[in-house]
Structure 1
Amino acid sequence: MTDGKHPSGAPWRNFYGRLKGKGLRKSQEAFLDEDLARLSPGAVDWEANPERRPLDLQALFGGREVWLEVGFGGGEHMVHQAARHPEAGIIGCEPFINGVAMLLGKIREAGVENVAVHPGDVRDLFDVLPDASISRAFLLYPDPWPKKKHHRRRFVMPEYLEPLARVLKPGAAFRVATDIPDYVRQTLEQVPRQGFEWLAERPADWREPWDDWISTRYEQKALREGRVPHYLTFRRR
Structure 2
Amino acid sequence: MSDHEFDPNPARRNFYGRRHGKTLRRSQKGYLAEDLGALRPRGVTMDDNPDRTPIDPGAIFGDARPLWLEIGFGGGEHMVHMAARYPQVGIIGCEPFINGVAMLVGKIRAAGVQNVSVHPGDARDLMDVLPDASIARAFLNYPDPWPKTRHHRRRFVTPEHLLPLHRVMAPGAEFRVATDIPSYVRQTLVELPKAGFELISHRAEAWPDWLSTRYEQKALREGRLPAYLSYRRV
TM-score by length of 1: 0.93
Q: How many angstroms apart in 2 are the aligned matches of 1:49 and 1:146?
A: 35
Aligned AA (1:107): I
Q: How many angstroms apart in 2 are the aligned matches of 1:48 and 1:219?
A: 36
Q: How many angstroms apart in 2 are the aligned matches of 1:45 and 1:145?
A: 26
Root-mean-square deviation (CA), in Å?
1.1
1:13 maps to what in 2?
A: 13
Q: How many angstroms apart in 2 are the aligned matches of 1:58 and 1:10?
A: 24
Counterpart mapping for 1:1-237 below 5 A: 10-61=10-61, 62-200=63-201, 205-237=202-234
1:109 deviation in Å? 0.4
Aligned AA (1:47): D
Aligned AA (1:11): A
Q: How many angstroms apart in 2 are the aligned matches of 1:59 and 1:146?
A: 39
Q: How many angstroms apart in 2 are the aligned matches of 1:163 and 1:72?
A: 19
Cα-to-partner distance string for 1:148-194 (whole Å, 9 max, x where unaligned): 00000000000000000000000000000000000000000000111
1:11 deviation in Å? 3.4
Secondary structure of 1:213's counterpart equals coil
Q: How many angstroms apart in 2 are the aligned matches of 1:104 and 1:11?
A: 26
Q: How many angstroms apart in 1 are the aligned matches of 2:184 and 2:34?
A: 37
| Equivalences, count | 226
Q: How many angstroms apart in 1 are the aligned matches of 2:212 and 2:181?
A: 16
Q: How many angstroms apart in 2 are the aligned matches of 1:133 and 1:42?
A: 16
Secondary structure of 1:199's counterpart equals strand
Query: Which deviates further from its counterpart, 122-131 or 10-19?
Result: 10-19
Secondary structure of 1:127's counterpart equals helix
Aligned AA (2:111): A
Q: How many angstroms apart in 2 are the aligned matches of 1:24 and 1:55?
A: 31
Q: How many angstroms apart in 1 are the aligned matches of 2:225 and 2:40?
A: 35
TM-score by length of 2: 0.94
Structure 1, gaps ≥5 residues long: none
Cα-to-partner distance string for 1:109-150 (whole Å, 9 max, x where unaligned): 000010100000111101110100000000000000000000
Structure 2, gaps ≥5 residues long: 1-6
Cα-to-partner distance string for 1:9-68 (whole Å, 9 max, x where unaligned): 743111110100000000000001011111001200212111222222112121110000
Is the contact between residue 72 and residue 143 of structure 2 (CA under 8 Å) also seen in structure 1? yes
1:230 deviation in Å? 0.2
Secondary structure of 1:42's counterpart equals coil
Secondary structure of 2:139's counterpart equals strand
Secondary structure of 1:211's counterpart equals coil
Query: Which deviates further from its counterpart, 213-222 or 43-52?
Result: 43-52
Q: How many angstroms apart in 1 are the aligned matches of 2:83 and 2:91?
A: 7
Secondary structure of 2:165's counterpart equals helix
The percent identity for this pair of structures is 67
Aligned AA (1:212): D
